Amino acid sequence: MKKFLILSFLIAFVGCDVGDDDATTATDTEQDSEDTNGENPDRTVNFDLTVLSRPVNAVYSSVVLTEGEIQGPVLNLNEDMNMDTGVVFRSEPPNLIFYRPSFFNRVWVRDVRTGDSSPFNEFFQPEVDPVSISTVASSSHIVTFYRDRFNEDIYRMDSYNMAEGVEAPLYETLEALSTVHIDRNKFMLTYVDQDQRLILEAFDLNSRTKVLETDITSLIGYTFSGDFIYLFGNGVVRIFDYNIGKLGSPQGILENINRGGFFDTELVGNRLYYRFAYAQPNLLIEGPAYYDLDQGANTIFDLFTFVDYLESNGQNLLNPGPIEINSEEEVIVFAYSYIEAGNTEAQWAVAYLDYGLQLIKTTDIPIEPAALVLH
């Protein structure tokens, strides 16, 4: 585990480590083997999508698709929101959160449905003289990390409740943090203690209380979604429920989930949706999947089926982009760039696929996507 660096820990926060357990196994893949044309003419797109782009000049832009069709021009978000350059972003649908990870702390929250934006720039008022200031933000809370100028061994954390406009101390530690993770009013951190154990601590940001501390050294992967933290070990899973503040007993599982370290998920019913990691080197880095908590089984959607469909229609996939799943509509949204035979210019597009990997619709988009936000 890499040692925490106060000005660059966001790399660990935004990303996740990828494991290779079962990376080439596709269990219960849902496809229509009788399909011959790769298309589903009976389905339509019934939801909106915002495509976020982050070019090399650090200026963010976006475009909205309604029912799979582009609506309006490409929007320069830095101009529209009066937002600094050099910010990073997170997605908490229907919100996009932008923030400066170091020193001049500012946060912008944008509701992609309405286009309304809320800036925050006076949330940090420490009780001590700080150094090495860093920030992470959700759609409801901001957590600021800093060191006491007169005791730089101490990492201090303050949390700011956006709705209440109140800042207060959250936590302090002498440990070198490994990763931090935030989602709405939930916050987690990990560190390696003096006994070389990887420790996870979880906090409720509304009450500013630590609700869990546990050793995760032997875990394969961990995540949180909604009110639950899922800790996946070798053949078992333990679930922490924020509502009751209790870590459940180990439960046997049939298959290990195919992620390592922290990974993003969405819990819908008994399905824990995540991104399956393909064995590398490969054309695709990851693909959509879900883990059935009742059955203990992975369902992995084989996107190579769609790649084959593109090639059969004269398009070659160049680069995969972000993937999202609309679990209510049972639609997979996959962004990618392609090039047509006889053409030298690459084009970005968004494909809407049903759970059988049949194509519902494709739409060319004018920007390179960094994120897809369903709404």
- Alpha-carbon gap, residue 371 to 362, rounded angstroms: 17
The predicted structure's pLDDT at residue 257: 83
The predicted structure's pLDDT at residue 325: 95
Segments of the chain with pLDDT less than 50: 1-36
The predicted structure's pLDDT at residue 304: 93
Domain 10-374 has CATH 2.130.10: yes
The predicted structure's pLDDT at residue 105: 77
- Alpha-carbon gap, residue 106 to 142, rounded angstroms: 10
The predicted structure's pLDDT at residue 70: 97
Residues 161, 121: contact at Cβ < 8 Å? no
Collapsing DSSP to helix, strand or coil, 78 comes out as helix
Q: Check the CA dihedral 113-273-21-311 and report its sign.
A: negative
- Alpha-carbon gap, residue 62 to 18, rounded angstroms: 28
- Strand-strand pairing, 141-148 and 151-161: antiparallel
Task: Provide CB contacts within 8 A for 228, sequence distance 6+.
Answer: 239, 240, 241, 242, 267
Domain range summary for the chain, segments of one domain joined by +: 10-374
Question: Which amino acid type is present at position 243?
Answer: N
Q: How does pLDDT run across 255-282, given as a tens digit for each residue?
A: 878 788 999 999 999 999 999 988 889 8
The predicted structure's pLDDT at residue 344: 84
Closest CA to 372 of 71, 107, 96, 17: 96
The predicted structure's pLDDT at residue 103: 65
